[in-house]
Amino acid sequence: MDGALLGTASAFGLAASAGLNTTLPLLCIGLLARFGLITLAAPFDALSSARALGVLLVLAVVEFVGDKVPAVDSVVHMLQWPLAAAAGAVLFASQANVISGVSPEVALVVGLLTATGVHGARTAARPVVTGTTLGTGNTALSLAEDGFALTLASTAALFPVLGLVLLTVLLVVAGIALYLAVRSSRRVQRWLQPQKGEATH
Residue 48: C-alpha distances to residues 35, 106, 107, 111, 147 (Å):
9, 23, 20, 19, 21
pLDDT digits (tens, 9 = 90+) for 108-142: 999 999 999 999 888 877 777 777 777 677 888 88
- Three-state secondary structure call for residue 21: coil
Check: pTM over 0.75? Answer yes or no: yes
Neighbours of 152 (CB within 10 A): 28
pLDDT digits (tens, 9 = 90+) for 33-42: 999 999 998 8
The domain locations on the chain are 3-200
Nearest to 91 by CA among 36, 143, 21, 173: 21
Rounded distance between C-alpha atoms, residue 27 and residue 50, angstroms: 11
Rounded distance between C-alpha atoms, residue 181 and residue 138, angstroms: 15
